[in-house]
Structure 1
Amino acid sequence: MGQTHQKFLSDIRVFGCSKCHTHLATMSSMLSRAFTGQHGRAYLFDVVVNIEQGEPADRQMTTGLHTVRDIYCVKCGTTLGWKYDKAHVEAQKYKEGKYILERGLICDVED
C-alpha cells in the first residue's frame, strides 16, 4: 500500500492532528465552538479533510439519538471526533453531514 495523498489547507487559521500535524480543517469551515466531545470541548465543522471514517453507529447523546461515524487521522490513525450521518431528532437535523473535532485532539498548524 502506498502513501496516502494529503490535502494541504490555507486559511487565517488551520487546524491539524495534535499528534502528527496533518491538516484537517480551517477556521472558515468552523460552524460552532459550542460543542462537547468525549474528552471536553469540541468544534463543529462543515468540511474536514485527511480523515478516514469508521462504520456508522447509533449513539445516544445529550441532544438525542444520532447515527455517527468516528473519524481518524489519515496519516497516524489518531481518533479525532466523529461525523454526523443522521440526527433522529428533527431539531438536530442541521448536524447531518457535519464533523466534530475534539479540541484536545487537534492543534493549530502553520499553513
Structure 2
Amino acid sequence: MAEVVGPRLYSCYNCRNNVALHDDIISKAFQGRNGRAFLFSHTTNVVVGPKEDRQLMTGLHTVADIYCCDCHEVLGWKYERAYEETQKYKEGKFILEKSKIVKENW
C-alpha cells in the first residue's frame, strides 16, 4: 500500500503546531536573534505582535514579533516596513528562526 505523502512542513519546536510550508521558503540565508533563520512568504497559526522599529544587520526596519498561536513561543518576526529601497522585497514577509522550528513530513 502506498504511503500518503503530505506537504513538507515546519512546526513550532515547543508544541509541534504547524507554522509554515517548506514551499514558502524564499531564502535560507538570513540571520535571526539566535542564529540562522529562513525568510518565508507566508506563515500559518501565528499571532503577530505590536510593530516596532528595529535596527537589523541590513538597516532600520519596522517589524513585529510572531508567536506560535498555541504555546505563544516567539518564533521570529514579520517585516512590516523596510526603509532602504534595496530591502523593500522583505515587506510582508516572515522570518522563522531555525532553532525555533522543526521539520514535519520529511
TM-score of the superposition, structure 2-length normalised? 0.92
* Consecutive unaligned residues in structure 2, runs of 5 or more: 1-5
Counterpart of 1:60 (choices 28, 43, 55) is 55
Q: 1:11-22, aligned counterparts within 5 Å? A: 11=7, 13-22=8-17
Task: Name the SS for the 2:14 alignment partner.
Answer: coil
TM-score for both structures, normalised by structure 1: 0.88
Tell me by how many angstroms 1:58 deviates: 0.1
Which SS does the other structure have where 1:56 is aligned? strand
Give the counterpart of 1:32 among 10, 27, 30.
Answer: 27
Tell me the residue number matched to 2:77: 82
What are the superposed Cα offsets for residues 45-92 of structure 1, whole Å, 9 maximum, x if unpaired? 001000001100000111010000000000000000000000000000
SS in 2 for 1:72: strand
More strand by share: 2
- Give the unaligned 5+ runs of structure 1: 1-9
Which residue in 2 is equivalent to 1:93? 88
Alignment of 1:41-52 (within 5 A): 41-52=36-47
Are 2:99 and 1:104 aligned?
Answer: yes
Identical counterparts, % of pairs: 47
The alignment yields a C-alpha RMSD, in angstroms, of 1.1
Q: How many residues align?
A: 101
| Cα distance, 1:30 vs structure 2 | 0.5
